[in-house]
Structure 1
Amino acid sequence: METVPQEIFLTILDYIGKEKHHLKPYLTVSRRWQRVIERFFFRSLEIKNTRLSTFASLFRETEAHRKALIESLDFQVLLPAYDGDNYHQHEEVNNQVFSTAILELFQMLETFSEDENVKRNIRRGDGLRLSIRYIFSPSDSFYHLDHFAGIRGRYIKLLNHERLPILSCVSDFFSRHGHESRILDPASGILISGKLKGLQVSAKQYDDHREYIGDETRKIIRPSMYNMLIHQIKFTIYTNTWFNSLYKCPLSIYPFLKEV
């Protein structure tokens, strides 16, 4: 199979189809087939923090070419389980777990930034799209109204931003949350994006619904977000930066946010 002309090889591939379940049996046909078919498997990936070491092993030295195949990476953070209604007793632990997960992710992606094939992608404008969309505990109940308000009313915060390495491989960063997710502190999302020196697009979701965010928390979170955002604007140039804002009271009721 290594000597099959490229035209015939591509014709065979088109005949098989490009759905992953069709291609998987052909990964072991030859090294050439593996290299081509891997593109479809590595193009868009989802990974939890609990599987980071396994994920990193996919890019060991003999398989380093796979780093340049990834176009989109959706990172999910699994928090510790808890008993009953004790979701409000683990804020610091959850923040530490999240912070450790982000640090380990950045340390792994730092090796991507140093890869020559990845650098070539970056020069072509094909950087990595990184998303943080789900932060949750297996004990979270987002369909129980009392639990939902208590869980969504406690932001997850990044504690160690100064320890994060600078990454050049990420061009797009999205910090959003699905319905079944904790909410990332907006200032923490801005701090993460500040470590991405090749960033071209940055989108963050800001949510402070009165149903689960109290006035005192809002008065802390909003100025913190504002200060971080102003700092980033001063020292970083983004092609596109925007917030998807979900809030129930106007920002203008806080004087320091009128100019935003």
Structure 2
Amino acid sequence: METLPPELLTRIFSFLAIGQKTLAPYATISRAWQCTVEQHTFSQLSLSSDELERSNHAVVQSSHVHRRTSVRRVNYGVHLPDYDDNACGRFERQADRQINDEAFGKALVGLFTLLEVMDAGNDSRPIDLNILYFYSSMDINRRDTETLRAHEMAKSLGKRHDLFELRYQDSYLQLLQPESLPILHNVTSLTINGDTARKLAPAIAPGIMSRLPNLISTNFSISDMERKRPNRRTQLRSEFAKQLTSMPTPQSLQKFDFELRHVQPANESFVNANVRGDFHSPDVDDVSTALQRFWQAAPSLTNFKLSGSICVGPELFRSPGEDEEDEEKQQQWQKLKVVTVELSLVRPDGGWYIELDPDRGSDSHGEEEEEDEGEEDEFEYSGHIFHDRTSSQNSSSSGYDSSDSFFAMNELPPDSYGYDDEKRDLRLNGEEPSAYFRTKPTAELEVLFTAAAHAAARMPSLRNMRVSLEVRPSGRTGRKRQKIGFLYLAPGVRGAKDEGRERECRKLYWDAPKGWRMSGRLQDKWKFLLGDDGIVKYKEW
């Protein structure tokens, strides 16, 4: 075996690796086999914060250099401090969140310190870093099936107080000191899954990005669903904007994929809060403005995707007050090729991007019944949806924001979250009653589309641009999910139903309700980009 060339050993091992889950035993055949096998098995490391010391011994401090040079992907999970049975019946307090935040930051420092040892500067072999899960051992998704079944049964019999995932549903993990993380040149791809049962604050994403100067691609998933406490949601969005604005310009970044999930309320009479913030200006949305400055400043960016659906405004595409006439001063997106924005129906100022269509046909009788139900409830909710944090809690959890800690006090009485409170929670969150009736684009949506067309004209390398939102099923939509928005394709980019010369022309496809057409200003913006041979098509529903 020792006389076989490495290339032949690698070829033999590639056959063994097909369909086999356990490959490590083959490393014991010989030293040559050990190197071949471990180049595969150490290419992807999956570890939690509890396993950092073992990983350091097995990889970083190992005498086998090939283990360090083989690492291509790291999947990481953070084990948060545990809590006891009594704490299962209590909401997390601020002191508990502080403890979790400190543990989270320490776990990231530990990981970055480990990866720093393998960092050879700009000559490092690239690593994909995936920060995927965050948990405490008593979280509902970490209890084994038998234990969870027993706890659910005990709660149903009144023998146990347990909030399960409600205990931490209002908590957001924070990265208190991003600057404490070592700078890593060897991480070129970053994935963060922060929209789980344990949610991450949006500011964590740019905080970690700021420590990765050679980052090429990102994929973030973050929640923006704090409807019951709009002040908290505004704060989270503004902190993200501040962190994104203050981070160094990402010189190498080519692909930015950012999901900031904001699912619109099922009750379309719901009065949404103004969450624009005032970090930049009270009159513009902090998140949209920060993203606009970020993606314009990134010199290598080719792919830009926002999804969620994401709650943003026209500031995403152009700065307020920008001089349209002075083209020399207008910044360009030189390398941008693909742009995708999946919009929420709700605007950052609290309004909606779609409204009730007064010209809806007579075939939508069922839809009108839903509309009446929503309109009746609008007056019931609009006056008292947005209480402050304390008043929006039920009376049995009046100590929700106190500074006491589960870790320090084990004899606190349990919080109550019974059926009546859950139903009230749904109403305050806009989920009851369900009423879908909005289908017509508002003037504000056309303003956003116009800003997007203005930006597209300043993207000389643009190949594909889609900006749209999704309308829920109703009588007006034919009981199907429909889209409102556009798809722009550059010459040579093939569309789904292109024919003949169309493939070599600039094309603009619209999904829109029947009878809707671009306003004069919006049409002029697209004419400038499409040219005389450009094609515009409408798909009506």
Q: TM range, normalised to the smaller chain?
A: 0.7 to 0.9
The residue number in structure 2 matching 1:124 is: none
The residue number in structure 2 matching 1:225 is: 240
- Work out which structure has the larger RCO, using CA pairs closer than 8 Å and 6 or more positions apart in sequence: 1
3-state DSSP of counterpart to 2:77: strand
3-state DSSP of counterpart to 2:245: helix
The residue number in structure 1 matching 2:221 is: 205
- Cα distance in 1 for partners of 2:81, 2:73 equals 26
Task: Provide Cα deviations, 1:13-42, integer angstroms capped at 9, x if missing partner.
Answer: 344344554532221111110011112211
- Cα deviation, residue 46, structure 1: 1.1
More helix by share: 1
Please give the TM-score of this superposition, normalised by the length of structure 2: 0.43
Contact 1:210 1:248 in 2 (8 A): no
The residue number in structure 1 matching 2:98 is: 92
3-state DSSP of counterpart to 2:115: helix
The residue number in structure 2 matching 1:29 is: 29
Contact 2:230 2:273 in 1 (8 A): no
- Cα distance in 2 for partners of 1:97, 1:129 equals 23
Cα separation, partners in 2 of 1:178 and 1:18, compared to 1, 3 Å:
farther
Cα separation, partners in 2 of 1:251 and 1:52, compared to 1, 3 Å:
farther
Alignment of 1:44-193 (within 5 A): 44-59=44-59, 60-83=61-84, 84-89=88-93, 90-114=96-120, 119=123, 121=125, 127-141=126-140, 146-177=163-194, 179=196, 181-193=197-209
Cα separation, partners in 2 of 1:208 and 1:18, compared to 1, 3 Å:
same
- Cα deviation, residue 87, structure 1: 5.0
- Cα distance in 2 for partners of 1:251, 1:202 equals 30
Task: Provide Cα deviations, 1:155-180, integer angstroms capped at 9, x if missing partner.
Answer: 1011221221110010011111464x
3-state DSSP of counterpart to 1:2: coil
- Greater mean deviation of Cα atoms: 150-159 or 31-40: 150-159
3-state DSSP of counterpart to 2:128: strand
3-state DSSP of counterpart to 1:141: coil
Q: Give unmatched runs, 5+ long, in structure 2.
A: 142-147, 153-161, 265-271, 277-283, 287-312, 317-541
Q: Highest Rg: 1 or 2?
A: 2
Q: How many residues align?
A: 250
- Cα deviation, residue 204, structure 1: 1.6
Please give the TM-score of this superposition, normalised by the length of structure 1: 0.85
Please give the root-mean-square deviation of Cα atoms over the aligned residues, in Å: 2.7
- Cα deviation, residue 149, structure 1: 4.0
- Cα deviation, residue 12, structure 1: 3.5
Q: Structure 1 counterpart of 2:32, which letter?
A: R
Contact 1:133 1:178 in 2 (8 A): no
Contact 1:71 1:129 in 2 (8 A): yes
Contact 1:134 1:178 in 2 (8 A): no
Q: Check if 1:241 corresponds to 2:256.
A: yes
- Cα deviation, residue 208, structure 1: 2.2
